[in-house]
Every structure is written in C-alpha cells, then in structure tokens.
C-alpha cells in the first residue's frame, strides 16, 4: 500500500467519523452525554487530570453544548500551547469564562460552544479538526466513546484500527516524524538506523522494530562495571525506584530501556518516555556511577546497537559483523567461516562468548518472569538471538575443521530419513 493510499484511507476514516457524529448529535435528546476521548492517553489513577477529549451534552429541548477541556483539567502531557488556545477560538469555541477570576459568563471552565442540534455538522467538523490538529491523533480508531444520561441513550461506536497501524507497517516513518517534531529538527541516526537523541549529557537511542510493532528507547548509562554482583544488587533498588524504566546488566554495562507500543503508535507516548528519561538523567552523576561500580557514559558511539543484540560493541569486531549480517540477510556456514578468518580458535572463542550470553540472558529472563513478563520476554528474545548466532558458528566450525566432509555433504542430496542416532560433530560443546 502506497503512502498516498494510506493517507486517503485515514482521511476517509475521519470523514466517516464526522458523518456519524453529525447524525448522532442531531438525534441527541435532553440529558444525553457523549465524550470522545483518546484511549491511549496516560492519565494517572485517581487524579482529575483529563485525557484529550471533546464532550457533548444535550439540553434545553434543541440545544447541545460542546466542550474542549482547558489546561485547568488537562493532563500535563496534553497541555495546550498559546497557539493552540488561539486556534480553538478561531475554530469557533468560546474562551473559558467560569473560574476563580471571572465572575460572569455562560458557565464553563472549558472552551465551549452552545449550538442548535440542527448545526450538528458544524460541531462534528470542529471536533474532527481538534482531534487532528490540536490533539494530533492519527486515526479515529485511537478514540473511545463514553455515553451517559438517559437509560435509552444510544451507544456511539468508534473505528477499528487499520491493518497498517496494527502490524507496524510504516512505523519507522511515524517515529521519525514524532522525534523530528519533538526536537524541532531532523534527528541524526547511527549506522543501524537508530535515532540518537541527547537527554542531557546522556546519548539515548530510539530503535524501531517494525516486525514486532514496537519502539525501544535505550541508553547505556554506566559502563566498565567492575563488580557484577554488587551492581546487580544496586539495580534491584534502582528498578524499584524507577518502575517505568528497565535497568539491565549487560556484560559490564548498565542499560536503561523503555518500550513504546507501535500497534498503534502514539507520538505522545514516545514524548512521555523521553520526559521520564529526562527526570532520571537529572538524578545521575559520577557518584551514581561509582555506586554502581562503573563509569558514567557520555559517548554516543559506545551505545550503537544491532537489530537482535544489546551492546554488541563490547565484543570483537568480527563477531559484531557476524551478528549484524546474520540477523539482516542470513549467512551460510562458508560466509560465517570467512568472517571469522577461517580460524578455529576464533570460532571457538566466539562460541564461548555466545554461549555465555545465551545463558546469562536466559537467567535474566527467569529472574524477571515473576515481576515483569515484558522484561522476561525481551530477555528471552535476546537469549534466542545469541543461540541463533551460536548455531551459525557451530556450522562454520564444521567447515573449518572438516572441509572435505563439508564439501562432500554439500554435494550429496540428503536422504529422506536421516538416522536420528547418528552422532553430530560438537554435540558435546558446552552451552
């Protein structure tokens, strides 16, 4: 599907919502209430702060009041700018005129408009403009409808999430646009396509994983850890202190990770993640790094990443090359052997490193399983990625150690049924 086709489908979806909203508002009866609200906004439990929404209330026989919440009610992540205030007035809403400092008015602390229900088309058009321009919602499927009032008040259905938003297609472009809007400039990227964003003095990266429809924001916070046991104990306290950020001990690094759902992707969620990172970075210094037994990171090159492995730059260059290429295009045993210089000792060393990482990540998954299923799943994915690289290296070792046997095997068609008891080379290699 082309971008133009997808854009037209989005426009059509908003037009369809506007038409349905027009009919619904026109048919409302006194005391009927409808609230259209962003279902992906993060609102703290127990607070009066409101998500992005527009409210309709039918009254006085043929009237309906339409309201957009002011900053007095909005969640801080949705606070309106001065330009957005003026845009609401330009669209036709009245300024809030009921607050501590104003004694007169028509009775709303929100932006409001009282209209005849016959003018429902006007209110529907204004509402769609607010969600698209002010709230920056990509698709009407991001909305949920809340109805109240009479027992007979009709429900208002919202749209389904389109497949292109649900499966992560085009996610990278939407993330790029969200980061550019946040930085007010085109973001820089590393060789892997990860976006570099400086949070204070900490280089932080945004990685888009389209096949899993998710976005990861990560940063190597501390490096050159000298005592892993001591650091692991400190990380337990750190994860309790910052429950929204996952702190992982990877080789001799402490890496902070947050995830954003890409199905669908909501730009404000990514902005909220960076706000959280900013709050965290404001609390760290050299003393913080010393408590973790390492050094504070401030070098962007050190946090470059691959598609399947964390912190691969801590490993030999040949192994890093193998990880990148094997995950991106797949390699046959000859390719892997060539990358390793067809050196048996090099392959054996890489096998040892991969085995250690596979076991370590599997152990991390077990530790996280009871407290955080998402972190456990991430650790399991990492363990499987190292296991895949290990199997590629085992195949390459056969090529290097037994080249004639490997050539004969490539020249012979495999039998339909292989003997399951036939021993395989290196089956005894320690995992």
Tens digits of residue pLDDT in 298-337: 765 443 333 344 444 457 777 877 877 766 566 788 888 8
Phi and psi, residue 418, nearest 5° = -85, 150
- Compute the average pLDDT of residues 400-423: 49
Please check the confidence at residue 87 and state whether its pLDDT lies above 90: yes
For residues 106-121, average pLDDT: 88
The better pLDDT of the pair 211, 243 is held by 243
pLDDT over 50 (residue 191)? yes
Answer for the pair 360, 301: CB distance below 8 angstroms, yes or no: no
Q: What 3-state class would DSSP assign to 99?
A: strand
Give residue 165's pLDDT: 53
pLDDT of 216 above 60: yes
- Please report, for the chain, how many H helices and E strands are present, in that order: 13, 12
* Architecture category of domain 3-99+106-160 in CATH: Alpha-Beta Complex (3.90)
pLDDT value of position 429: 38
In the DSSP assignment, the letter for residue 159 is P
Under DSSP, the state recorded for 194 is P
d(CA 328, CA 339): 15
Residue 107 has pLDDT above 60, yes or no: yes
Percent of the chain beyond pLDDT 70?
Answer: 78
Q: What is the Cα–Cα distance from 94 to 135, expressed in whole angstroms?
A: 18
pLDDT for residue 21:
92
In a 10 Å sphere around its CB, with 0-12 CB exposed, 13-18 middle and 19+ buried, how is residue 359 labelled?
middle
Q: Where are the beta strands (DSSP E) in 149-233?
A: 188-189, 195-199, 202-209, 214-223
214-223 and 253-261: which strand pairing?
Answer: antiparallel
Q: Provide the pLDDT for residue 49.
A: 58
Asked if 373 and 367 touch (Cβ cutoff 8 Å), the reply is no
Rg (CA), the chain: 28
> φ, ψ for residue 125 (rounded to 5)?
-65, -45
Give the C-alpha separation, 138 to 11, whole Å: 10
CB 219 within 8 A of CB 204: yes
For 374-409, give one letter per residue: b (16+ CB within 10 A) or e: ebbebbbebbebbbbbbebbbbbbbbbeeeeebeee
Q: How far is residue 29's CA from residue 199's CA, in Å, rounded to a whole number?
A: 51
Give the C-alpha distances (Å, rounded to integers) separating 318 from 271, 324, 344: 36, 10, 14
Q: What is the pLDDT of residues 9-61, one digit of tens each?
A: 788 889 988 998 999 998 899 999 999 998 876 555 444 557 889 999 998 88
User: What integer is the mean pLDDT of 54-69?
Assistant: 92
Report residue 233's pLDDT band, with 50, 70 and 90 as the boundaries: confident
- Please write the tens of the pLDDT for every residue from 23-37: 999 889 999 999 999
In sequence order, which ranges of 196-329 are alpha helices (DSSP H)? 228-241, 267-281, 286-291, 317-328
Q: Which two tokens mark 198?
A: 């400086």
C-alpha span between 386 and 128 (Å, rounded): 48
Q: What is the DSSP letter of 134?
A: I
Q: What is the CATH number of domain 171-296?
A: 3.30.1460.10
Higher pLDDT: 78 or 33? It is 33
Residue 25: per-residue pLDDT: 92
In sequence order, the 6+-apart residues with CB closer than 8 A to the CB of 276 are 242, 244, 245, 258
Which DSSP string do the residues of 79-92 spell out, in sequence order? PPPHHHHHHHHHHT
Q: Where are the domains of the chain?
A: 3-99+106-160, 171-296, 317-401
- Mean pLDDT (the chain, rounded): 78
Q: List the one residue out of 226, 229, 213 whose CA is nearest residue 265.
A: 213
Task: Give pLDDT tens digits for 140-175.
Answer: 888 888 888 888 778 887 665 555 555 555 788 888
Equal fold, 3-99+106-160 vs 171-296: no
Q: Which of 205, 231, 230 is closest to 218 using CA atoms?
A: 205
Once rounded to an integer, what is the mean pLDDT over residues 191-195?
Answer: 79
């Amino acid at each position: 599907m082309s971008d133009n086709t997808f854009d037209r489908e989005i426009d059509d979806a908003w037009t369809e919502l506007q038409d349905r909203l027009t009919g619904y508002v026109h048919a409302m009866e006194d005391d009927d209430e409808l609230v259209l609200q962003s279902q992906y906004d993060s609102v703290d439990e127990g607070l009066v702060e409101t998500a992005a929404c527009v409210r309709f209330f039918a009254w006085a026989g043929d009237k309906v009041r339409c309201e957009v919440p002011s900053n007095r009610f909005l969640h801080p992540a949705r606070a309106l700018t001065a330009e957005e205030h003026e845009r609401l007035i330009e669209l036709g809403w009245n300024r809030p005129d009921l607050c501590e400092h104003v004694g007169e008015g028509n009775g709303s602390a929100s932006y409001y408009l009282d209209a005849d229900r016959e003018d429902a088309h006007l209110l529907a058009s204004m509402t769609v403009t607010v969600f698209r321009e002010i709230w920056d919602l990509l698709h009407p499927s991001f909305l949920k409808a809340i109805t109240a009032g009479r027992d007979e008040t009709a429900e208002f259905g919202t749209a389904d999430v389109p497949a292109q938003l649900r499966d992560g297609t085009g996610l990278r472009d939407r993330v790029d646009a969200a980061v550019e809007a946040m930085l007010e400039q085109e973001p820089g990227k590393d060789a892997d396509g990860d976006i570099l964003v400086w949070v204070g003095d900490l280089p932080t990266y945004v990685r888009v994983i389209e096949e899993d429809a998710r976005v990861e924001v990560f940063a190597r916070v501390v490096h050159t850890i000298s005592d892993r046991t001591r650091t692991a104990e400190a990380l337990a306290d750190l994860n309790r202190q910052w429950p929204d950020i996952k702190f992982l001990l990877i080789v001799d690094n402490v890496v902070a990770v947050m995830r954003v759902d890409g199905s669908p992707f909501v730009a404000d969620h990514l902005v909220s993640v960076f706000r959280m990172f900013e709050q965290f970075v404001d609390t760290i210094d050299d003393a913080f790094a010393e408590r973790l037994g390492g050094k504070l990171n401030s070098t962007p090159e050190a946090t470059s990443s691959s598609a399947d492995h964390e912190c691969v730059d801590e490993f030999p260059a040949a192994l890093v090359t193998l990880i990148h290429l094997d995950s991106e295009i797949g390699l046959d045993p000859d390719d892997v052997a060539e990358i390793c210089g067809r050196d048996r000792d090099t392959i054996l060393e890489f096998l040892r490193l991969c085995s250690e990482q596979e076991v370590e990540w599997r152990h991390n998954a077990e530790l996280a399983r009871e407290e955080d299923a998402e972190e456990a799943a991430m650790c399991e994915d990492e363990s499987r990625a190292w296991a895949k690289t290990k199997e590629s290296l085992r195949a390459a070792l056969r090529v290097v150690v037994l080249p004639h046997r490997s050539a004969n095997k490539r020249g012979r068609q495999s039998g339909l049924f292989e003997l399951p008891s036939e021993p395989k080379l290196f089956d005894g290699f320690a995992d």
